[in-house]
Amino acid sequence: MASVLFVDDEPAIREMLKTVLKLSGYQPLEAAGAEEARQLLASGKPDLALVDIMMPGEDGFSLAQDLIAANIPVLFLTAKTAVADRVRGLRMGAEDYILKPFEPEELLARMEVILRRTQPRVYAENGFQIDYNARTVSLDGVPVALTITEYDLLALLTRNAGAALSRDKILSAVWGWDYMGETRTVDVHVQHLRSKLGTDTIETVYKYGYRWAGRGEDTP
């Protein structure tokens, strides 16, 4: 499960981001300012940081410099429309920016692009391999044909190997945070994956969801 640090001084935006990230299968880390963000960083390195530029005290540019130096990808959240500010952020090494107000779907799409680019590209184990960039899966060198949804589900499980993911979290992450369908569809797609992969590596977590039980290696 990818962890996402978001730093913004507006409580309403933080609450919205926390809800959207949780529903989309991410682990949210919330900070109201740069100082609080640095305290969270002492406990671990997030996979991505969403940083507001205009904040009281230390601004987002200053915080982002240290995040980027620590190889944490940064996406700026900003209400500023001046081209110079956007250019400054990109030149200092930020991955992207999004202007407030923004739609959750657009933010999630930009995050997914960044995470695909910055996270490990290949997961391999006992003849099984998934190439996240090429969106291909193979068993003992033989390609496995998956639907778009089956692939997205498999990618979510393998990227979170060892973690138990609830059906609701899987549904939100794969089908969309605003999807209104039933969790039964998750069970059906897991059955399809098990059949195509011929493996019991996708474990059922009783009355909760599923877990990828493999211990493969992610490679850059």
| 104 and 130 belong to one structural domain | no
Q: What is the pTM of this model?
A: 0.67
| 110 and 186 belong to one structural domain | no
| 168 and 188 belong to one structural domain | yes
pLDDT computed for residue 132 by the predictor: 86
Tokens (6 digits) for 90: 């990109």
Contact 194, 144 (CB under 8 A): no
| 82 and 145 belong to one structural domain | no
Give tens-digit pLDDT for 46-98: 999 999 998 999 999 999 999 999 999 999 998 877 778 888 888 999 999 99
CATH number at residue 199: 1.10.10.10
Question: Residue 218 region, left (φ>0) first, then alpha (ψ -120 to 50), else beta?
Answer: beta
- Read off the pLDDT of each residue in 157-180 and give the average, rounded to a whole number: 83
The domain in which residue 192 lies consists of 122-219
Q: Between helices 60-69 and 34-41, what is the axis angle to 10°? A: 20
Among 12-26, 166-180, 203-217, name the most confident range.
12-26
Query: Amino acid identity of 48?
Result: L
| 32 and 64 belong to one structural domain | yes
